[in-house]
Amino acid sequence: MTERKNIAIVGAGLVGSLLSLYLAKRGHKIDLYERRPDQRQFAEDGGRSINLALSDRGWRALRGIGIEEEVRQVAVPMHGRMMHDDKGNLSFLPYGKEGQFIYSVSRAGLTVALVNLAEKKENVKLHFNRQLTHLDVRINELQLRNRDTEEVERIKPDILFGADGAYSAVRSEMHKRELYDYSQSYLEYGYKELTIPPAAGGGWQLDKNALHIWPRGNYMMIALPNIDGSFTCTLFFPHKGPLSFESIKTETQLFAFFQNSFADAILLMPDLAQEYFANPVGSLVTIKCFPWSFEGKAMLIGDAAHAVVPFYGQGMNAGFEDITVLDQMLDNFTGDWRDLFERFERKRKPDADAIADLAVLNFIEMRDKVADPRFLLRKKIEAKINEKYPHTWLPLYSMVTFSDLPYSYALETGRKQDEIMELVMPHIQAPEDFGKQEVQDLLHKLLQEEERLK
Ligand code: FAD
């Protein structure tokens, strides 16, 4: 039994609120500080994406505190990608094998469910409207501005977790120390959220069990279903340039652009102009930093440690997996927090870097390649290889989404698979070609070589 600590968590977003439950389970006294008001007073979250793709890594962490079934009740399964071409034709690409789905969940709904659970714990105290404004990491002293009274509170917890997101104030203070590695890189694309409302008589206006994509080369729109019959669409579009957020200034320009690029979607978007001009443009950033901890006193977790662009739908899932990994380490904890934090960050950093890189690569795939028939053929062939060699070949998407294999392993294995597919695809013009003897022999040889290299 290790000593019970006073732990402060800054940020009651998805990761901070789930972390409070895991740490409370181990008997620590938790204070959870959140800059914003209590989200339970508001229906939805403006500006950021209002639904998220939840997959196996995220489910695993929710299962660990017994909330999996409750969340599943309000989650919409998405079986694959539904591509909308510029003529309105649809094609469907399953995400995995039969029975393998990702789920669309409400960001606000999930956060509220976690906060409700945290509130029920005797040893968790919630503090809303408290913004971390200053931190002295050497002595773990925090200054929090009470946004109701404008008073400043000072606290000195034993342990501090920074779960305060991509623009973390905890990380900014760590950053001021020597030997701190930090990088941030923005995509030249931003995003804007729009809505397809439910059908007049109720229900969904598009297939509800799919993630819809309108890939258009230089930009794209996606739509994820909500439980109320609506879809949240996200337009990923360059910030600047001839066709960009900057270039569309009037309703006429907006409708001309949508009519040209998303003709089947515009029919379903009665509030397009109002939403387009009212909703903010979000930015897309990758943040890498190291170390994540400071002298066994403070630790970053979730987006604060590793913000990734959203194209693999893994940011939250990766943050939740941080908690699963930390919790496993706490099973054999000796009481040495410095040792724990250093082992944790050494283990997670390569995986966080890998999912950051995979997310950028997937942007290119979603925006560009899913409209390419050769790419779709390759995906079909990969599914056949997986069927034939289930223990040797797991498609990259499945490793990331439907397994708990380390992200770094998935990235490396994906690169090897790319090399093999480069050699196999020239022999394939149609799915049936997979059965050809020359293809089978070549594949067998390449996989054997791969095994020998391991
Ligand atoms: P956040 O959710 O950012 O929460 C941080 C919390 O800290 C906030 O509540 C904030 O108010 C609070 N805070 C910040 N500063 C302070 C301060 N100084 N003092 C006190 N409190 C503070 N991930 C997926 O897994 N699947 C998806 O489909 C997906 N889609 C996405 C789509 C978009 C457009 C974007 C932008 C992201 C998407 N993500 C997705 C990523 C996901 O949103 C993040 O990874 C996730 O929200 C990280 O959770 P977090 O708790 O670490 O940070």
ipTM value, please give it: 0.99
Asked whether residue 149 falls in the same domain as residue 221, the answer is no
Judgement on whether residues 279 and 289 belong to the same structural domain of the protein: no
- Record the tokens describing residue 252, joined without a space: 């006429």
Domain containing residue 436: 372-453
Q: What's the CA-to-centroid distance between 377 and ligand 1, angstroms?
A: 35
Please enumerate in sequence order all residues whose Cβ is within 8 A of that of 202, keeping only pairs 6 or more positions apart, or say none: 229
Tokens of residue 374, six digits: 């050769």
- Whether 192 and 273 map to the same domain: the answer is yes
Instruction: Answer whether residue 153 is part of any domain.
Output: yes
Atom number in ligand 1 closest to CA 17: 51
Based on the domain organization, do 387 and 271 belong to the same domain?
Answer: no
**Separation of CA 302 and ligand 1 centre (Å):** 8
For residues 341 and 207, membership in a common domain is answered with: no
Domain boundary, last residue among 234, 266, 283: 283
The torsion angle over the Cα atoms of residues 18, 396, 412 and 409, rounded to 10 degrees, is 40
Please check whether residues 15 and 144 belong to one and the same domain: yes
Report pLDDT for 43. 53
Contact (CB, 8 A) for 233 and 223: yes
51 and 193 part of one domain: no
CA distances from residue 412 to 206, 389, 398, 443 in whole angstroms, order as listed: 36, 18, 14, 19
Decide whether any atom of ligand 1 lies within 6 Å of the 190 Cβ. no
Tell which of 283, 298, 319 closes a domain: 283
- Record the tokens describing residue 310, joined without a space: 């959203």
pTM of the entire predicted model: 0.95
Does 321 contact ligand 1 (Cβ within 6 A)? Answer: no
Atom of ligand 1 nearest to the CA of 318: 25
- How remote is the CA of residue 208 from the centroid of ligand 1, in Å? 25
Which atom of ligand 1 approaches the CA of 224 most closely?
28
- In the chain, what's the furthest Cα-to-Cα distance? 76
Question: What does the pLDDT read at residue 17?
Answer: 98
**How many structural domains is the chain composed of?**
3
Residue that has been written with the tokens 């962490």 in this structure:
61
Do 448 and 403 share a structural domain? Answer: yes
> Which residues sit opposite 106 in a β-bridge?
51
Query: Whose structure tokens read 């283990």?
Result: 347
- Ligand 1 centroid – CA 354 distance (Å): 19
In terms of Cα–Cα distance, which of 40, 28, 34 is closest to 12? 34
Q: Tell me how far apart the alpha carbons of residues 222 and 52 are, in angstroms, rounded to a whole number.
A: 12
Rounded to whole angstroms, what are the CA distances from 289 to 26, 164, 275, 351, 409? 28, 15, 35, 13, 20
Residue 396 within a domain: yes
Looking at the domain assignment, is residue 75 inside a domain? no
CA distance 297 to 307: 22
- CATH number, domain of 324, equals 3.50.50.60
93 found inside a domain: no
- Ligand 1 pocket, 310 CB below 6 A? yes
Ligand 1 centroid to Cα of residue 203, in Å, is 29
Q: What angle do CA 191, 105, 83 make, to 5 degrees?
A: 55
Please check whether residue 263 is in contact with residue 394, taking contact to mean a CB–CB distance below 8 angstroms: no
Torsion of CA 153, 155, 159, 164, to 10 degrees: 10
Of 362, 389, 412, the last residue of a domain is 362
- Rg of the chain over all Cα atoms, to the nearest angstrom: 23
The pLDDT assigned to 49 comes to 45
Distance (Å) from CA 286 to ligand 1 centroid: 13
Query: For residue 14, how far is its CA from the centre of ligand 1 (angstroms)?
Result: 7
Provide the sign of the torsion angle of the four alpha carbons 447, 450, 452, 454, taken in this order. negative
Residue 317 CA: nearest ligand 1 atom is 25
- Candidate from 134, 164, 283, 320 with most ligand 1 atoms within 8 A of CB, to mutate: 164
The residue count of the chain comes to 454
List, run by run, the mean pLDDT of 10-residue segments along the chain (454 residues). Answer: 89 98 97 94 55 97 95 94 94 89 95 95 97 96 96 97 98 91 96 96 96 93 95 97 97 98 97 97 97 97 98 97 98 95 98 97 81 88 92 92 97 95 96 96 92 64
Residues 430 and 322 reside in one and the same domain: no
Domain shared by 300 and 346, yes or no: yes
Q: Which atom of ligand 1 is nearest to the CA of 193?
A: 34
Of ligand 1's listed atoms, the one at least distance from the Cα of 166 is 3
In a domain, 89, yes or no: no
Task: Classify residue 30: in a domain, yes or no.
Answer: yes
**293 and 278 in one domain?**
no
Tell me the C-alpha to C-alpha distance, in Å, between residue 87 and each of 66, 218, 260, 275, 444.
45, 17, 10, 25, 40
**Integer angstrom CA distances of residue 90 from 114, 207, 210, 312, 408:** 37, 11, 12, 22, 34
Pocket test for ligand 1, best of 9, 35, 62 (most atoms within 8 A of CB): 35
Alpha-carbon distance of 189 to 118, in angstroms, equals 36
Is there a domain that residue 76 lies in?
A: no
pLDDT, position 450: 80
The structure tokens listed for 449 are 């070589």
| Token pair of 350 as six digits | 């390569």
The response to whether residue 313 sits with its C-beta less than 6 Å from ligand 1 reads: yes
Beta strands 159-162 and 6-10, pairing class: parallel
- The H-or-E segment that residue 48 falls in is none
Q: What is the pLDDT of residue 45?
A: 47
Q: Which amino acid is at 413?
A: T
Ligand 1, atom 4, lies closest to the CA of 13
Ligand 1 pocket, mutate which of 21, 22, 50, 52 (most atoms under 8 A from CB): 52
Q: Is the residue at 97 inside a domain?
A: no
By most ligand atoms within 8 Å of CB, the mutation choice from 50, 189, 316 for ligand 1 is 316
- One domain for residues 178 and 130: yes
